[in-house]
């Protein structure tokens, strides 16, 4: 099955966006953990 060029472009762009969102999610998790550690340390 041959994909049309348009679908290939769309698929690759969506895949790249998902990877970027996963990286951002990891950054947010790390920031949340750092904030929680700072809160616990301050108590």
For the chain, what are the domain ranges?
17-43
Per-residue pLDDT of the chain (43 residues; tens, 9 = 90+): 677 999 999 999 999 999 999 999 999 999 999 999 999 999 8
Q: CA-CA distance, 1 to 38, in Å (whole number)?
A: 54
pTM value is 0.73
Phi-psi region of 2 (alpha: psi -120 to 50; beta: other; left: phi over 0): beta
The pLDDT of residue 3 is: 72
Residues 6+ apart with CB under 8 A from 11: 3
What is the structure's pLDDT at 20? 98
At residue 8, the pLDDT reads 93
Q: What is the pLDDT of residue 1?
A: 62
């Amino acid at each position: 099955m041959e994909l049309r060029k348009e679908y290939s472009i769309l698929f690759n762009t969506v895949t790249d966006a998902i990877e970027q969102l996963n990286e951002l999610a990891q950054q947010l998790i790390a920031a949340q953990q750092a904030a929680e550690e700072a809160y616990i340390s301050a108590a």
